[in-house]
């Protein structure tokens, strides 16, 4: 099978959420010594990008999203060891620490953004939900993160985003990290008000934002 056909098959399998098929075809690509980075970018990521479009349009819903994300992740898991040895550094676009703020247990959107960022080549440390500020900062410093991404779904918990930025400013290393904020109650006005480096209304634009933020750095 020609490389291009194989890529299309992988992309389709991601769109259809066919985990076993993704694994089979990715293994085929590995067996043919195809460039791992190309498999990621031209097959897996293309697939998940299409899934993101389908989600935004209201063609795909949460179950489809999760199943596709898992299929894609299965492909990534197979390629990770190869990427790690070959072009690991070229692959890693940047490091992100992501989580839902303390007091807030909503995590679907945050997990989705994390998965898509990982799919796009970021090293992602997803701390889960109900994460205290100290934990975010500790992980960001430990991993020398580029971006701290905070999700909040309640107006009562989004103030934690403001608090984290204040804490960073107090400790003198505000400039070391880009802080991105998101979640249903978060608006561009809020992001600006609290001194965040950006916000995005949904997962796909969050990923675009993260990529452009890194280009600025």
Partner 1 sequence: MLTFLEAVQERPIVFDGAMGTELLARGLVIEKGTSPELWNVTNSGIVQEIHQSYYDAGADVVLTNTFGGTQPKLAKLGLGDRVHELNFAAAKLAKEIVPPEKYVAGDIGPTGLMLPPMGAAKIDDFVKAFAEQAAALWSGGVDLFTIETMFDLREAAAAVEAVRKVSEDVPIIASMTFQKKKRGFFTIVGDTPDKCFRTLEEAGANLVGSNCSLNSDEMASLFDEYNQATSLPTFAEPNAGQPQIDDKGQTYYTQTPEAFAEDIARISELGVRVVGGCCGTNPSFISKIAERLKG
Residues contributing to the site for partner 1 (CB under 8 A): 57-64, 66-67, 70, 103, 105, 108, 155-156, 158-159, 184-185, 187, 189-190, 193
User: What φ, ψ does residue 62 adopt, rounded to 5°?
Assistant: -55, -45
The nearest distance, CB 92 to partner 1, in angstroms, is: 28
Going from the C-alpha of 188 to that of each of 27, 182, 192, 210, the distances in angstroms are 43, 9, 6, 15
Of 6 and 13, which has the nearer Cβ to partner 1? Answer: 13
Per the CB < 8 A criterion, the answer to whether 146 and 177 are in contact is yes
Of 30 and 103, which has the nearer Cβ to partner 1? Answer: 103
Of 36 and 116, which has the nearer Cβ to partner 1? Answer: 116
Type and span of the H or E element at 198: strand 198-199
The nearest distance, CB 60 to partner 1, in angstroms, is: 8
Of 12 and 163, which has the nearer Cβ to partner 1? Answer: 163
Instruction: Convert 115-140 to b/e letters by CB count within 10 Å (16 or more is b).
Output: bbbbbbbbbbbbbebbbebeebbebb
> Could you identify the residue written with the tokens 């898991």?
77
Long-range contacts at 31-37 (CB < 8 A, ≥ 24 apart):
32/3, 32/6, 34/3, 34/6, 36/79, 36/82, 36/83, 36/86, 36/87, 37/83, 37/86, 37/87, 37/90, 37/91
Of 94 and 198, which has the nearer Cβ to partner 1? Answer: 198
Hey, what are 179's tokens? 């802080």
The nearest distance, CB 89 to partner 1, in angstroms, is: 33
Of 33 and 57, which has the nearer Cβ to partner 1? Answer: 57
Per the CB < 8 A criterion, the answer to whether 146 and 121 are in contact is no
- Strand pairing report for 198-199 and 178-182: parallel
């Amino acid at each position: 099978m020609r490389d291009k056909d194989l890529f299309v098959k992988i992309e389709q399998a991601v769109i259809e959420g066919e985990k076993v098929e993704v694994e089979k075809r990715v293994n085929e690509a590995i067996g043919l010594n195809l460039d791992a980075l190309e498999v990621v970018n031209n097959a897996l990521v293309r697939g998940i990008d299409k899934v993101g479009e389908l989600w935004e349009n209201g063609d795909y819903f949460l179950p489809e999203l999760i199943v596709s994300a898992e299929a894609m992740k299965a492909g990534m898991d197979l390629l990770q060891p190869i990427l790690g040895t070959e072009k690991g550094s070229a692959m890693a676009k940047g490091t992100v620490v992501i989580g839902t703020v303390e007091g807030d247990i909503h995590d679907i959107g945050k997990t989705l953004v994390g998965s898509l960022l990982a799919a796009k080549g970021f090293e992602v440390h997803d701390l889960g939900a109900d994460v205290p500020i100290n934990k975010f900062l500790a992980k960001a410093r430990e991993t020398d993160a580029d971006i701290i991404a905070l999700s909040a779904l309640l107006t009562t918990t989004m103030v934690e985003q403001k608090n984290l930025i204040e804490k960073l400013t107090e400790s003198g290393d505000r400039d070391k990290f880009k802080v991105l904020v998101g979640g249903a109650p978060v608006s561009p006005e809020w992001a600006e008000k609290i001194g965040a480096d950006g916000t995005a209304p949904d997962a796909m634009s969050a990923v675009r934002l993260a990529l452009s933020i890194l280009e600025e750095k």
